[in-house]
Amino acid sequence: MSDAFLAYGDTAASPFRPAPPISPATERERERRKLSANARRQRRTEERGVLACPEGPRLAAMLRWMRSLSIDQADAFLEVLAGESWLLSAPEPFRRVAQRLFGRVIGHIRSQAGIDILDDPMPWDEDGRPMESLHQHITRLLNLR
């Protein structure tokens, strides 16, 4: 019986075909995508953790309020942010995630206004002095480096 099996195996086409070799560039691209996906998962986990902590509902309410602002109301946001002592005294990891979430909402506001997210003007005013961007103001207010 084993002879018939071997005879069939010799005459039938093998369903197994070895995979074509993967180029080093393709392998690097796969690794880069894998690392990027892991980083995105880590960021989502951090954001969910921050929004699930006791101060999370306050941050979520602040983010919802931010979405209602227009591009010209950055000063109003900075005034409110400066008065939020609970946020300014929060642990640094919480403030870092909050900063990232604020940046995401600011990007949304900019895109709603028809401004490309990365299309910032040069950071100089008419006097030649450097001006702080909104992101720099938020970083300074949250005492982050």
Alpha-carbon span 101 to 111, nearest angstrom? 15
Q: And the tokens for 23? A: 């180029």
Alpha-carbon span 35 to 72, nearest angstrom? 37
The residue with greater pLDDT, 107 or 3, is 107
Asked if residue 56 has pLDDT above 70, the reply is yes
Alpha-carbon span 41 to 3, nearest angstrom? 54
Q: What is the pLDDT of residue 47?
A: 93
Q: What is the pLDDT of residue 124?
A: 53
How many degrees, rounded to 5, is the angle at CA 44 between CA 39 and CA 50?
Answer: 125
Instruction: Mark residue 93 as left, alpha or beta (left: phi above 0; alpha: psi -120 to 50; beta: remaining).
Output: alpha
Q: What is the pLDDT of residue 4?
A: 75
Enumerate residues 6+ apart whose C-beta is below 8 A from 101.
47, 50, 59, 63
Phi–psi pair at 13, nearest 5 degrees:
-75, 140
Per-residue model confidence as pLDDT tens digits over 20-46:
888 999 999 999 999 999 999 999 999
Work out the mean pLDDT of the chain and round it to a whole number.
82
Per-residue model confidence as pLDDT tens digits over 63-106:
999 888 887 888 888 888 888 889 888 999 999 999 999 988 88
Provide the whole-model pTM. Answer: 0.69
| Environment class of 90 (CB within 10 Å of its CB; exposed 0-12, middle 13-18, buried 19+) | buried
Alpha-carbon span 73 to 69, nearest angstrom? 6
The per-residue b/e assignment along 127-140, b for 16 or more CB within 10 angstroms, e otherwise, is eeeeeeebeebbbe
- Summarize the confidence of residues 9-20 as an average pLDDT: 69
